[in-house]
Every structure is written in structure tokens, then in C-alpha cells.
Amino acid sequence: MLLIFLSWIYILFSTINFGFIFDKIIGTKNNNFVVTSVLGLFFTTILASIWAIFGRINIEFHLVLLFFNMLLVLKYKFSILNIYKQFLLDFKKLEKVLKLILILITLLIIAQCSTAPFVIDNESYYIQTIKWLNEYGFVKGIANLHIYLGQTSGWHITQSIFNFSFLYKNFNDLSGFCLFLGSIFSVQKLNEFYQNKKTNYLIIGLLPLFNVFLFQFISAPSPDIPVYVFSFVLFFYFLDNFKKTTTESFYLIVILVLFLIYIKNTTIAFAIIPIILFLLHFKLLSKKLIKPVLLSVILLSLYIIKNMIICGGPVFPSKLFSSLETSYAIPNAIGSAYYDSIKHYGYFVNEFQYNTMSVKDLFLKWLFLPKLNGLFDKTIVTIMLITPFLIYKFQNKKSLWILYFVMLFQMFLLFVTSPQYRFFMNFVMFFLFFC
């Protein structure tokens, strides 16, 4: 636990520094401690992704990272120090009960991170993916060795930075650090709810109630945790800035969406959010698109380059743009079999059942799956059915309707691909609190 805590101190130090300078470059004018750290995670992920094209993410990368850390501290020490001072002031403003809750949550998160992970994907490809990144960076055609290695999430790139593999082999606790950031953000918003009584502050503030569920993922570098946490941060800023969107808040929302998609491409539905904001505030934002467009191009380029190196094609696991595939691309038979197996697994059926069952039968099979799968499947369907009535009656706001339709679009994409409950839990948590 002590080693994890010490590693988190350095991660926090690094992400605050890089988040601060990234904020100055992009101009989000952010003043939230947690968001600054998230911006730092995003920026270091971009840097590591570029680095991994040419070499391993290991001690060499950390020496460069440490050099820039020192440089930033020396040049902006007072500004960076003010970020920590503001966080301490915000912590002191918390209700005494909330302070105790936040401290307890932090201790429990660190304790859980110190235990052995029991996420199946951790043994099948998480740690292997990160190990390859640590030792070689992006490896040409590595997906042919094992197709799971083709997934290489943006979060695994981030974890490969902060697992300090050259010091200790078991530091894969970045998802726990992410939940720690999410807990701080939620408790702060819950404290603010006591003053402003805004519903969106309460909903975001209740995120720690799901820690019992989330704890099963945090001892492994699961991309699901950052998706859940960053989704809540995104939902908050979208709801809070919907009517009075500024250039700065739009930039932040774009960054959060880009980070989510880079971490897990099943979150592609979130791309609707900045597009809608842009259309609604066209006059304000149309002349301020250079930075978000440039960031989007950089992330899209890195995503394609990563996949071209690892898988031999621009998109994984899809066979879209097959004309662009390289000579070492995953064979069509294997790629198709893998893609089909993902679809079958989402419904817990075999290939024959999937091909012979009607859409209605597949839906009912999915809906009445046993254990947690069936529970959350029934929950999301119930939420989709009753939420429109609740929004209309209690919170008839365009921003909530938009999030509701984003959820519907996300569910449609999942039904077509693989409707696993892990992929829509962010919406389950958010709208369950709303209901």
C-alpha cells in the first residue's frame, strides 16, 4: 500500500505539471485540480503514443518526462504551487463528514489496488500489452502473435508510462488512481450541491455509491474505470455549460471526448456531444476551431498509426478500409472470426444460434441473461423506458434529452456489435442516479 501511495504522489506531481502546461497551450482556463490531472494524463498519453512509434516506453521516456517535470516546476513553480494551494482550500471547505468519507474512500482504493486483480482480461491481454509497450513500444504485426494484443487501448499506453517497470513489476494501479481522482471530483460536487441545490451536482456527487461495483476493476489496468470516471466529468461539464458554452468549456469537452474514444472506441457515441454544442453555438465557436480540430487530427492520426503498426490495418477489430491494409495485416479469416466472436459473446450465444435467431429472440436472450449480466441488461432497458417520462416531468431540459439520445445511440451501436454491460455502465450509473 505504501509503495502504491508513493507512486501515486509522483503520478499526481507529473500529471498536474503536464496538465498545467497543456491547459496553457490549449487555453481551457481550467481551475479544477482533478481536471488538471486528467489533462496531464491526456497530454502524457499523446507524448507516449508518439514515443512508442519509435521505441519502448521505459526508463528513457521517464528520464525525458522527469527533465520536463523539473523544467516546468522551475519555470512555473508559483503557478503550479497555487494549484495545490487551491486544492487544499477546497478540501478545507468540505463538510467534515465529506472529508472523512473522501479519506476513507482513498484508503479503501489503495487497499484494493494492493490486492491481486481478478479481472479475466488482465491475465489474457492487459499485462501482456503493457509489457510489450514497456519493452518495445508499438510492435509491427504483434496482433498476429495474439489477436488480443491488437486491442492496445490508449489507457494501456497511459499505464505503461506510470507502471515504472524499470523499478518494480507490479505497479499497474492507474485505474485505482483514476477512481481516486473521480472520488475527489464527486465529493467536491456533492459539497457544492449543498449550496446551489443543482441536480447535476448531486448526480455527479453520488458516483462513489458505485464503488462497490467499481472496486472489482481497479486492481487491474482496466480501460472501463477511466471511461466511467471521465464520462461523469464530461456529463458534468456538458450539463453545466450547455446554455452558456464558452470557448474554454468547449475545448475541455472536446478533450474529454477525444480521451474517452482513444481509451475505448466503444465510446464513439460521445462524439455527438461536441458536435451538438458546436451547432448550437455556431457563431461563438466557428472561429475557434483550430485547436480542437488539430487535437482531433493528432489523436485520429495516432490511432490509425498505432493500428497500422500493431494490426496492419487502420481500424481494429473491424475490416473497414481493407484496401489500406499492409502485408502483415491480420488474416481475414482470423479477423472475421474474432469480430464475430465478440458479437456472439455479447449475447452469450454461439455462431449457429446468432445466425438463426431473430432480432427479438436475441434481445430476449440478452435481456434474461443470468447474474450481473441480466441484472444490468434489465436495468438499462428499464432506464431507457422510464427516463423520458422522468425528464419530461421533473427536469425538462434539452441537455438531459441530448444525453438520453446519446445513450440510445450508444446502445444501438452496442446491439449491432457487442452489448456487454461493461460498455454501458456509465449511462446506467448516471441515469440511475437521475431516476
Residue pLDDT, tens place only, 125-145: 788 999 999 999 999 999 988
Give the mean model confidence (pLDDT) for residues 141-163: 91
Largest CA distance in the chain: 66
Q: Is residue 323 very low, low, confident or very high in pLDDT (cuts 50, 70, 90)?
A: low
The pLDDT value given to residue 231 = 96
Q: Is residue 350 very low, low, confident or very high in pLDDT (cuts 50, 70, 90)?
A: confident
Query: Is residue 106 pLDDT above 90, yes or no?
Result: yes
d(CA 150, CA 156): 12
The pLDDT value given to residue 123 = 66
**Lowest mean pLDDT segment, chosen from 52-61, 189-198, 207-216, 318-327:** 318-327
Q: Which amino acid is at 377?
A: D
pTM above 0.85, yes or no: yes
Query: Is residue 341 pLDDT above 90, yes or no?
Result: no
The pLDDT value given to residue 401 = 94
Q: Which amino acid is at 316?
A: F
Query: Is residue 17 pLDDT above 90, yes or no?
Result: yes
User: What angle in degrees, to the nearest 10, is found between the helix axes of 154-161 and 247-263?
Assistant: 90
The pLDDT value given to residue 274 = 95
Query: Is residue 150 pLDDT above 90, yes or no?
Result: no
Instruction: Give the Å distances, CA to CA, from 21 to 11, 40, 79, 157.
Output: 16, 8, 10, 20
Residue 304 · residue 312 · CB < 8 Å:
no
Q: Is residue 235 very low, low, confident or very high in pLDDT (cuts 50, 70, 90)?
A: very high
d(CA 185, CA 194): 15
Please provide the size of the chain in residues: 435
The pLDDT value given to residue 381 = 92
Residue pLDDT, tens place only, 35-74: 999 999 999 999 999 999 999 999 999 999 999 999 999 9
The pLDDT value given to residue 372 = 83
* Mean confidence (pLDDT) of the chain: 90
Query: Is residue 233 pLDDT above 90, yes or no?
Result: yes
The pLDDT value given to residue 171 = 75
The pLDDT value given to residue 331 = 85
The percent of residues above 90 in pLDDT, for the chain, comes to 63
The pLDDT value given to residue 319 = 64
d(CA 183, CA 357): 43
Instruction: Give the Å distances, CA to CA, from 109 to 176, 182, 219, 367.
Output: 6, 11, 9, 32
The percent of residues above 70 in pLDDT, for the chain, comes to 97
Query: Which bin fits 64, alpha (ψ -120 to 50), beta or left (φ > 0)?
Result: alpha
DSSP collapsed to 3 states, the chain = CHHHHHHHHHHHHHHHHHHHHHHHHHCCCCCCHHHHHHHHHHHHHHHHHHHHHHCCCCHHHHHHHHHHHHHHHHHHHHHHHHHHHHHHHHHHHCCHHHHHHHHHHHHHHHHHHCCCCCCHHHHHHHHHHHHHHHHHCCCCCHHHCCHHHHCCCHHHHHHHHCCCCCCCCCCCCHHHHHHHHHHHHHHHHHHHHHHHCCHHHHHHHCHHHHHHHHCCCCCCCCCHHHHHHHHHHHHHHHHHHCCCCCHHHHHHHHHHHHHHHHHCHHHHHHHHHHHHHHHHCHHHHCCCCHHHHHHHHHHHHHHHHHHHHHCCCCCCCCCCCHHHCCCCCCCHHHHHHHHHHHHHHHHCCCHHHHHHCCHHHHHHHHHCCCHHHHHHHHHHHHHHHHHHHHHHHHCCCHHHHHHHHHHHHHHHHHHHCCCCHHHCHHHHHHHHHHC
User: What angle in degrees, to the nearest 10, is found between the helix axes of 332-347 and 359-367?
Assistant: 60
Give the mean model confidence (pLDDT) for residues 111-120: 80
Give the mean model confidence (pLDDT) for residues 411-425: 90
